[in-house]
Structures are given as structure tokens and as C-alpha cells.
Chains A and B, each alone.
Chain A
Amino acid sequence: MADALLKVTDVCAGYGRGDIIHEVSLEAHAGQIATIIGPNGAGKSTVIKTIAGVLRRRTGSIIVDGQEIGGLGASDVARRGVSFVPQEANVFRQLTVTENLQMGAWTDRANYSERLARVHGLFPVLKERATTRAGNLSGGQRQMVAFGMALMVDPQVLLLDEPSAGLSPVMVEQMFDTVREVNATGIAVLMVEQNAIQALRISHHGYVMAAGQIVLADNAANLLDNEEVSELYLGTRA
């Protein structure tokens, strides 16, 4: 297998004095989807925020396409081709839908109209509501804006924090289809999901987190078959 596009090694991070995640190591490959699952409070979101630079890592290394990005701030990480979709507060509420997408293209304004057309192709409703303030959209539409923004650059790595949170079952299905579609263009996707079964079904790799550590890493298919995992983390959701 080719070298991982995103390689996280022994990363510790947290808020205040304590660490929330301890020596986390994981990888995401071009054209593949990796998913982190685990109970609430396991530190899944913290991992993804740390990679995105929203939170600075304390120790360990984060390498994207051969370059160390650990220690960089979020805007610098974004310029290295990492596109992050936060779970909450992930749109500019006072800006229109189109302005949001323009902000998405901040680091790379080349091919703007092509990319806009692509995002409109993925989410036609964003074209219809182009001049609506994002704050006035429904939750599902906001999620599309957030996702669309991240696709306004050609990211190497796409980080998704609970992309299905707050969506109706139909929308969840749609969202995962879109993730797969985007991934097929060669982007490495790393996502954190509560909706473990559905997420693992579209994933190549899975990581199970508990208490700030990765306790299991395997093929997504193997994880789905793993009895212990399904009992502990998938059962409640099935």
C-alpha cells in the first residue's frame, strides 16, 4: 500500500492542563475513508480538531503528504490542503450561502466557478438558496453548506466531525453517499461518527477509541464483524 496521505503518530492533546487524547496514532490514505468510532467523551472530536489545528497538539507528529503540520494553527493547516468540517457552528450564519462557499475557497480561488458548479451539483438546494443567510437555513441545509464549503478547495484530506449529526435518516443516507462520491475523486477522508454501522459500511478503515486512546484499529469490514466491537459500540445504534 502507498504511503498514507495523513499520518498521525503518538499525538497527545487537550484543553487546560490535562490531556484528553493520549498517544493517538492513525492514518488515512488517498481515495480511502477512515472512520473513528467510540463512545461519547472518548476524545474522537478532539483527535480531529487537533489534526485540523483548532487545538494544538502537545506532543507527537501529524504529517500530511510528507510534511509536518503538527503545531500549525488552523488557517495554516487549511493552506496545506486539509479541509475540516466542524460538527457545530460550521457555517457563517450572517453570510449568504454563496458567500459561505466563497469563504470555503479562501485559500485557493483558482477554478472557483468550476468548484461552485460541482458543489451545486452535489447539493442543488444550495443554488436555489444562494442568497439566503446561512443562519436562516434548516439544519440539514446548513450541513450541506458546511460540507460544500470544505469542497470549495480541492483538499487532499477531508476531516469530518460527525457529518450525520442532526440529520434525518434519509439525509444521513444522502450525506454518506456524498462522502463516498467525494472520496472517489482521490481525497483521503477521516471522519468521526456516532452512526457507527453506516459509517463503517462506507469506510475502508476503522479506529475504535475509548478514554482518549485508540483501542482497536482494523479493516472496516473486520470491525463490523468483530463481536466485541458490535456489542460495545454498535449494538445500541443498530
Chain B
Amino acid sequence: MSAYLISMATYVGFFMILAIALNLQWGMTGMVNFGIAGFYALGAYSSGLLTVKAGWPVGFAMPAAAVVGIAAGALVALLSIRLREDFLAIVTLGFGELIRLIALNEDEITEGPRGLKIDARPFADMFDRTTYPIVYLAMVLAVVALAFFIAERIRRSPMGRSLRAIREDDVVAEVLGKNVLRHRVQVFAIGAGFMGAAGALYAHYVQNISPEVFMPMVAIFIWMSVIVGGAGNNWGLLLGAGIVMAILEGSRFMGDFIDFLDAEKLSAIRVILIGVLLIIILRVRPRGLMPEPRFRYGRSPGGGSSTADAQS
């Protein structure tokens, strides 16, 4: 049982990193990313392929995955920086699907649907088999802490302030002379780098990655985490990631009580449950369980709150 808990905690850790990253991109700047699965997959395959096919040591491959994520994020952001947020959603979703398609079809490199087997694990030879999962969990949590720390630093920095100004109203931000485009690309890239790192951690943890894991569904789980927790609030999304995982895993036990459901139906029910909950939360608590503390920037003399908050 404790092995199970450790494994769950590790998965929650992956979710937390992804959620922190999404919170940087969307929660703080309002840049919509539905291609989370794509960046996650990119990180996983980068690190996996670098160790398996290029023979890199895992200690180099994993950071390299983060760098690949940053590069891909910068590219996507540069391409779509001028888009309206709903178009950005479509572009990023398409990006995620493209990455999955490549992983699926370029099977001479990625092994396609058979899955890529990855033997390399960081610090594996220094610990025995029973303590290693705890060590891995500690590593994941260290990355969570690092990502959290960086995200909080950004949030509190002058750049973070101008980012939120962008989110509220990018016309205003431009008038204020903020370097909107550069900040947006930077933040999107940093977020994508976190996602890449999460992918690498995932890859060396499960040691067998295949394209079907990186379905757009991943994006929904992470969006759910951020929305449940409260967009813009890094503490809230840690809670959110935990809740989402609890729902995903908790529903697994339903199978023990309801025996006419097979595994396929159970997993479908789980997704339906997540979807319904997401809709309900957006409806009744659109600002999440732990809303971001109200932030004010140069309000217009006419007063009145910004339009983004007008919904309630």
C-alpha cells in the first residue's frame, strides 16, 4: 500500500509541475495552452531518445528535455503571439496533436505504438529497489519545489506585475510601455520548459512511453487542476492537482464495489466525472477554490473593476 501511495504521490508531482507551468502561461499571462500533452511528450521522448538512441547519460538527457521544451515553447509562442486567446487554444492543441502524430508515425525512431523502452534512471545504482521509489519521489518533489520557486519569483517580480497587466488588458499593457511580446514569449517558453522537464521525469519513471499516453486529455486534467485551485495562485493549484489525482485514482476503487463495470468503462466514467466536475466548478466557482488575491494595477479614473472580473 505504501508503494502505491508513493507512486500516486509521484504522479501528483508530475501533475503539479505541469499545473505550475500552465499557471505561468495561462493563469498569469492569460496565454491559453491546450497543447500541454505535446510539450510533455516532447520532454519525455527527448530524454528517452537521448538516453536510448544517443547514449547520453540520464543526468544530461533530462535537463536537455527541459531545454527542448523551452525551445519548442518559444517557437510556438513566437508563431502565435499575436493571436486571440481562442485561436491560440486551437494552435496549441494542434501542436500537441502534431507531436503525438510524429511519435506515433516515426516509429523507426520513437518505436511508435509499441512504446519506447527506457532503461536509464537517475541515481539508480546508488539505491536499492525498495528505497529507489522514495528517492525518485524526492527528486520529483524537488523539481516541483524548484518550479514553484521560479513561478513565485516571476509572479512577484516587476515582470510578473506587467504580465498580469497583460492578462487583464493587453492594450493597456502596451500603452504602459511594457515589452509585451518579449515577456509573453519568455513566460510561455519557461512554462514549456517545466512541461518538458515533467515529461522527462515521467519517462524515466515509467520507463516505457507510448503516444497514447499523450492524448489531449492530459491538458484537461491540468486545466482542471489549475481551475479548481484558482488561476493565478500557485498554492491553489498544488491543491488542485491533488484533488484531480484523488478523483482519478479514487474512481479506480469503484471497480471493487461495482463489478459489472470493466476497466474500459471505469476509465470512461472517470473521464466523465472529471468533465462534469470541471463544468460545475467553472459555473459555481469560476475563480477556483483558492482565488488569486486581488491584484490592482493603474486603474482608470472612472473606477470600476476590470472586465475579466465582472463575471461572477
Contact = CB atoms under 8 A, between A and B. Distances in A.
A associates with B: yes
Interface of A: 15-16
A52 to B, nearest CB: 22
Contacts of A15: 304
Contacts of B310: 16
B312 to A, nearest CB: 11
Q: Majority SS of interface residues in chain B?
A: loop
Interface in B235-252: none
Nearest to B302: A41
Interface string B290-312: 00000000000000110000100
* Chain B interface category by residue count: under 10
A40 to B, nearest CB: 12
A16 B304 CA distance: 8
The 4 A-B residue pairs with the shortest CB-CB distance, nearest first, are A16-B304, A16-B310, A16-B305, A15-B304
A16 B312 CA distance: 11
A220 B305 CA distance: 39
Contacts of A16: 304-305, 310
A140 to B, nearest CB: 29
Nearest to A16: B304
B301 to A, nearest CB: 12
A16 B310 CA distance: 8
A51 B165 CA distance: 37
4 contacts: A15-B304, A16-B304, A16-B305, A16-B310
A15 B305 CA distance: 12
Contacts of B304: 15-16
A55 to B, nearest CB: 15
Nearest to B305: A16
Contacts of B305: 16
A45 B304 CA distance: 19
A41 to B, nearest CB: 9
A16 B306 CA distance: 11
A14 to B, nearest CB: 11
A218 B305 CA distance: 38
A180 to B, nearest CB: 36
A26 B251 CA distance: 63
A163 to B, nearest CB: 26
A16 B305 CA distance: 9
A15 to B, nearest CB: 8
Nearest to B310: A16
A206 B22 CA distance: 58
B287 to A, nearest CB: 17
Nearest to B304: A16
A33 to B, nearest CB: 32
A42 to B, nearest CB: 14
A15 B307 CA distance: 12
A20 to B, nearest CB: 11
A98 B84 CA distance: 33
B9 to A, nearest CB: 45
Interface string B271-305: 00000000000000000000000000000000011
B50 to A, nearest CB: 53
A210 B145 CA distance: 57
A16 B303 CA distance: 11
A17 B46 CA distance: 53
A123 to B, nearest CB: 36
A142 B304 CA distance: 32
B225 to A, nearest CB: 32
A15 B304 CA distance: 10
A15 B302 CA distance: 13
A15 B310 CA distance: 11
A211 to B, nearest CB: 14
A14 B171 CA distance: 26
B93 to A, nearest CB: 28
Nearest to B303: A18
A177 to B, nearest CB: 36
B101 to A, nearest CB: 37
Nearest to A41: B302
A121 B112 CA distance: 72
A195 B54 CA distance: 78
A188 B75 CA distance: 62
A111 B310 CA distance: 44
B309 to A, nearest CB: 11
